[in-house]
Structure 1
């Protein structure tokens, strides 16, 4: 057997192979069949070539992708991955090979109507493309756009006006992450609810999938274009879910640039002009002339706004972006295979020590009663002023070789009578500086109160819960749920072995179970 793909009645792919590499290839192939247009769009976004078929509306993104050096950073990260972790690099390469096979498979014409409407032909994926897709998907998560917004307000309305736009008033949205121990569920098993509030996306950023090989048997939500199940997964004995930590791990610097006969120079913190890397790239725009964009990179990072002539508003400055993967050549892909192989929360915890970007809050639980609530990712060490607005180029550069603090985590082994749920992600108690002004505590207090005492308890900081009707009772079986409605559960009696039986339920109420024998079932179809 090389790989088998079984689709249940709802079209969800169940993949089985003899090795993780064969499984990654199968995952890439089935993703190309299901999400071909999405993959093509994301590939172009990572390369900064979206305007070539989407037109001038996509030009601003392409400029940012080129100037921020997203594709070049992804290439660097893959090259470093090949050197440091050849197994994971080969696994990622196998996924990209599978995508190419799925996009060009003979006898399987691509049904996506967008290709016919745009005249676009799917391009070839390079081994580094999954890293580029991951980076392009998350580059705006860390808060540098908020710093640009505060800088804009300060420039035009004055620094005192920045506080008027703070985000610590009552809000209408925000991520929720719940981790409830088995002491508070009717089954005695933990419950995880990962609820990352994202912008409305069509198609969605997640894809339900079941990945099975002799080493692991996992159900979860994959990011199309990236192998494995990074954010939400269930191995049968341990499950994990994430929300955005809203951490501040990107820095913006005000640069002074000048042109010379040899190129471009940047004024350094030492007061000396230093040579900056510079070249020009061309962006094709559908229906319009090709646009040239100047790419400049200083010792702080790529210049994403302005240049030697200053910013568009006439300010004699430019802005460079410093972000961890550009500095360390590491996107954290070394965590993906260990996550799939995890059997207990301690395994998840160790795997996430390799996580880099985006910085997430992760909650995990296993069938032995282990719980985990931690922050995963890399946050640079630098002054607090860097978290608010662009800062002068003067002074020491941020260090990104270690976290600003030891990664906040709350590992916990359940004991009799100890059922306190981990609180949801919110500002009180946070030890990683947030990328935006801290959020109010009322949502966390309301949920905490409902979970621990029917709405009558206070949260760990003494805040009373919100008012209103308490939520319904917890589900009567261990489960983890994402915003898509996807539910993964492990049999309460035989959940100690992922290969003994793993099931999941879609939002329609369908439940599919697969066992060591008879995985193909009768209500779906098998792809070859």
Structure 2
């Protein structure tokens, strides 16, 4: 902590930490502000930043051993390091300066703390290296590379080759009927156009690859519907719960901007959530189809292969073959088998100019200026909501959208010139969906379909349950306040449950368990709340899982492998199977499942799920049915991602807590069926921006601002998060000084 000198003029960066350990920086210029952001991020989260950097370089196995080797090989084959370096070299000069200042701050911290590194470094021998500006891009890309459609296309490829076209079509459901964020008078886009022909034409191609061994919410409310007369903007991103948390709370002020928000440790600015003096912004994942997978065979012998050494802790070095076809890098499969998979991803195709938006976002003065600032955005595609102090609210899709042939949307396709992206241009920014100040007086996004018209964005949107529930709640609020935002954050009513329960009540009668009638009567009178104290929620969740397992076993797709062992992962496959199996039940397409061709077959299957659920709950929770609560089953694990792989670091895991909600409720508590009922994804932050008075805004994260266990700010927000309460997001000079607990200078 010191004062620096620039051109003979004292330069001071003031840092105030509030009672939650959140830093509020005041700097003399923007480069000092970004330097301070780098220093603070390192102080709070250096090991997390370093781990993401190492993963992006394909070196994670050097720390965790063989469990990191699969993805290391994938990232090496993608040439992700080279891509990040090249993209950085093509950024605008002011963007490069931003990353250089950020890196300077990280390295200042690293030099000062060289003999006091985080505890994680005691459990491996890989010392931290100096932070380079391009590392910021690497950290950002590694957090988004698997958010696209890679695993879904591998899953559908396996499904097509195993079960045939009709099952694939039925499992997708009729997406054309789903709720949309905004409707337009343009021609309607039919997402199922040409599907039967596409699937039949590619079925034989994919059969050869199967035998190889091996969500978020946001909403904006116009001032005409709030108690203050000014907009409210709120939401919560859903990701896997881990420690340290993915987002880092931070505030920086300089003559060019004054901004506060949720940053990625290792990345400057506030790419996803924040506000300045004039405008607030937030995003949900746009679920865009940003990835194509190609089945390569004839071109493999023309690839110029290179080898890289992949070091695996405790096992030595292994060669990884890296090469590309004209469609993209070969990432999955063994070229020696004369068949492998190559990849095209919007984060690899063309120059990634995402970071060029970060400074203009901080300086934007209105919703319109904010949207202009993100016209250069590439990854990922987001639904952006914004609100400004002029009273406007707005929605806009941002990101690189590339429309391809219809076959590419669904499954891996043949590696042919016609499939390549070479001659394809991204959709122009002004052609992407958007709307400002809608007549309803509010906007909602929940990973659902953005528009009823083109351009094509994706097939794989979330269902409408969360979108419809938030819309229901907003309709009842003619004068919304910040406390209403907290109540919406905490809502656990499932709009999907009634369809599933109705199927049970209508079709199940051949059960044998003595408590089966009690179970059905309980579900018939249930309020559909996935609350911690709900017995019905627990029974509903286990029945859902049992049904999905039954469908997977009958179709022979419980453990899919496509192109290479472990692709898609067992966790991803079980989640996609769960969604698809419920669609088959709700849409009455069960007759496509072997052994469920008749109504009597369905009765036997659902009745068996009921019997198995009751037996399982007896074994797990005992015979006292009054104690069969959702909270006892639905526990939130927040794994420290190194401690999960290295036994000596096991104590770094945070404690386990009960968790309400599921994947269909506003308060998210998603499960991965492969892992039972444990909550695997939830709100990794909650926020509400009040444009009437920024100091009335609030936020909370699942753990704390610090990623250092035992620091005092590693878990101090946890109770508020569990209670769905927001903590003060102080912004004004007066507010910052009133909450100041410590002060120092760089």
Tell me which residue corresponds to 2:432. 408
Quick check: 1:302–1:322 contact (8 Å CA) kept in 2? yes
Distance 1:339 1:400 in 2: 28
SS in 2 for 1:302: strand
Distance 2:468 2:696 in 1: 34
Quick check: 2:325–2:342 contact (8 Å CA) kept in 1? yes
TM-superposed CA distance for 1:512, in Å, is 5.9
What is the correspondence of 1:209-224 to structure 2 with a 5 Å cutoff? Answer: 209-224=250-265
What is the correspondence of 1:316-355 to structure 2 with a 5 Å cutoff? Answer: 316-355=338-377
Tell me which residue corresponds to 1:458. none
Decide whether aligned partners of structure 1 residues 24 and 257 sit closer, same or farther in structure 2, where only a CA change above 3 A counts. Answer: farther
Decide whether aligned partners of structure 1 residues 52 and 238 sit closer, same or farther in structure 2, where only a CA change above 3 A counts. Answer: same
Decide whether aligned partners of structure 1 residues 309 and 38 sit closer, same or farther in structure 2, where only a CA change above 3 A counts. Answer: same
TM-superposed CA distance for 1:325, in Å, is 3.1
Match for residue 109 of structure 1 among 98, 102, 116: 116
Tell me which residue corresponds to 1:175. 216
SS in 2 for 1:524: strand
Decide whether aligned partners of structure 1 residues 277 and 80 sit closer, same or farther in structure 2, where only a CA change above 3 A counts. Answer: farther
SS in 2 for 1:109: coil
Quick check: 1:179–1:192 contact (8 Å CA) kept in 2? yes
TM-superposed CA distance for 1:515, in Å, is 4.0
TM-superposed CA distance for 1:7, in Å, is 0.8
Quick check: 1:245–1:360 contact (8 Å CA) kept in 2? yes
Quick check: 2:234–2:689 contact (8 Å CA) kept in 1? no
Matched, 1:373 2:395: yes
TM-superposed CA distance for 1:485, in Å, is 3.4
Q: What is the root-mean-square deviation in Å for CA atoms of aligned residues?
A: 2.9
Tell me which residue corresponds to 2:100. 93
Matched, 1:57 2:67: yes
Decide whether aligned partners of structure 1 residues 56 and 452 sit closer, same or farther in structure 2, where only a CA change above 3 A counts. Answer: same
SS in 1 for 2:305: strand
Match for residue 422 of structure 1 among 431, 440, 443: 443
Tell me which residue corresponds to 1:299. 326
Matched, 1:452 2:475: yes
Tell me which residue corresponds to 1:71. 81
Tell me which residue corresponds to 2:306. 279
Decide whether aligned partners of structure 1 residues 18 and 372 sit closer, same or farther in structure 2, where only a CA change above 3 A counts. Answer: same
Distance 2:250 2:121 in 1: 25
Tell me which residue corresponds to 1:270. none
Decide whether aligned partners of structure 1 residues 446 and 115 sit closer, same or farther in structure 2, where only a CA change above 3 A counts. Answer: same
TM-superposed CA distance for 1:452, in Å, is 2.4
SS in 2 for 1:154: helix
Matched, 1:397 2:420: yes
SS in 2 for 1:35: helix
Distance 1:523 1:126 in 2: 32
Matched, 1:431 2:479: no
Distance 1:422 1:518 in 2: 30
Match for residue 13 of structure 1 among 23, 28, 31: 23
Distance 1:410 1:61 in 2: 36
Tell me which residue corresponds to 1:122. 128
TM-superposed CA distance for 1:52, in Å, is 0.5
Tell me which residue corresponds to 1:484. 685
Deviation by residue 1:220-245 (Cα, 9 ceiling, x = unmatched): 00011100011001113210110001
Tell me which residue corresponds to 2:141. 135
Q: Please, which runs of 5 or more residues in structure 1 have no aligned partner?
A: 266-275, 311-315, 456-464, 471-481, 496-500
SS in 1 for 2:380: coil
TM-score w.r.t. the length of structure 1 is: 0.82
Quick check: 2:231–2:692 contact (8 Å CA) kept in 1? no
Distance 1:37 1:413 in 2: 43
Distance 1:156 1:54 in 2: 34
TM-superposed CA distance for 1:179, in Å, is 1.5
Quick check: 2:251–2:261 contact (8 Å CA) kept in 1? yes
Tell me which residue corresponds to 2:405. 383
SS in 2 for 1:140: helix
Larger radius of gyration: 2
**Count of matched residue pairs:** 473
More helix as a share of residues: 2
Match for residue 728 of structure 2 among 511, 516, 520: 511
Distance 2:159 2:528 in 1: 40
TM-superposed CA distance for 1:524, in Å, is 1.1
Decide whether aligned partners of structure 1 residues 448 and 47 sit closer, same or farther in structure 2, where only a CA change above 3 A counts. Answer: same
Decide whether aligned partners of structure 1 residues 374 and 228 sit closer, same or farther in structure 2, where only a CA change above 3 A counts. Answer: same
TM-score w.r.t. the length of structure 2 is: 0.59
Quick check: 2:304–2:324 contact (8 Å CA) kept in 1? yes
Decide whether aligned partners of structure 1 residues 430 and 9 sit closer, same or farther in structure 2, where only a CA change above 3 A counts. Answer: farther
Distance 2:12 2:424 in 1: 41
SS in 1 for 2:289: coil
Decide whether aligned partners of structure 1 residues 436 and 201 sit closer, same or farther in structure 2, where only a CA change above 3 A counts. Answer: farther
SS in 2 for 1:440: coil
Matched, 1:527 2:744: yes
Distance 2:477 2:298 in 1: 60
Quick check: 2:256–2:363 contact (8 Å CA) kept in 1? yes
Distance 1:201 1:168 in 2: 34
Decide whether aligned partners of structure 1 residues 433 and 198 sit closer, same or farther in structure 2, where only a CA change above 3 A counts. Answer: farther
What is the correspondence of 1:182-331 to structure 2 with a 5 Å cutoff? Answer: 182-257=223-298, 264-265=301-302, 276-310=303-337, 316-331=338-353
SS in 2 for 1:25: helix
Deviation by residue 1:369-427 (Cα, 9 ceiling, x = unmatched): 1121011000113112111111122215325532178443434258xxx5531243422
Decide whether aligned partners of structure 1 residues 223 and 518 sit closer, same or farther in structure 2, where only a CA change above 3 A counts. Answer: closer
Quick check: 1:327–1:400 contact (8 Å CA) kept in 2? no
TM-superposed CA distance for 1:522, in Å, is 6.6
Structure 1 residue ranges, 4+ long, deviating more than 6 angstroms after superposition:
465-470
Decide whether aligned partners of structure 1 residues 454 and 368 sit closer, same or farther in structure 2, where only a CA change above 3 A counts. Answer: closer
Deviation by residue 1:299-332 (Cα, 9 ceiling, x = unmatched): 111001124323xxxxx42211112232212141
Quick check: 1:5–1:14 contact (8 Å CA) kept in 2? yes
Distance 2:429 2:43 in 1: 43
Deviation by residue 1:337-390 (Cα, 9 ceiling, x = unmatched): 111111110111101111100000010010111121011000113112111111
Quick check: 1:328–1:400 contact (8 Å CA) kept in 2? no
